[in-house]
Amino acid sequence: MALKVTKNKSPKPPIGCDLTECMSMLSGAWAPNVIWHLRSGARRFNELRIDIPPVSAKVLSARLKELQERGIIERNVMPTSPPSVEYQLTELGMELVPALQAIVEVGHKLKMRD
């Protein structure tokens, strides 16, 4: 006997939903981690690699490029010899930090349950 499928009574988010838009900014492996580690200030590429040990250079480079294109981070070339690059959160990127902080707090609570 097949189970009856019930209708979802919660309202569906409209197309172009704010939640969907915000979550798309955080999409991609390691993107939230990059934002998290940039919350306290500018970091260079190798500093981020140290901050996030499991991420490969290729994936980190891709995430930084994507986050820059989305307006979450900005890339600043420093006038040094050899030139170095620093990444930092934009104003929009800083607005994502409280949401990530809330997710981290829930994560701690979930860990404590186990």
| pLDDT tens track for 68-114 | 999 999 999 999 888 899 999 999 999 999 999 999 999 999 999 86
- pLDDT (average), residues 5-33: 79
pLDDT at 23: 79
Strand, helix or coil at 85? strand
In CATH terms, the fold of domain 25-107 is Arc Repressor Mutant, subunit A (1.10.10)
Q: Is the pLDDT of residue 54 over 70?
A: yes
Interacting residues of 97 by C-beta distance below 8 A, sequence separation 6+: 35, 36, 39, 89
Angle at 94 between CA 48 and CA 110, to 5 degrees: 75
φ, ψ dihedrals at 43, nearest 5°: -140, 150
- pLDDT (average), residues 11-32: 78
Q: Domain limits of the chain? A: 25-107
The phi-psi region of residue 28 (left if phi > 0; otherwise alpha if psi is between -120 and 50; otherwise beta) is left
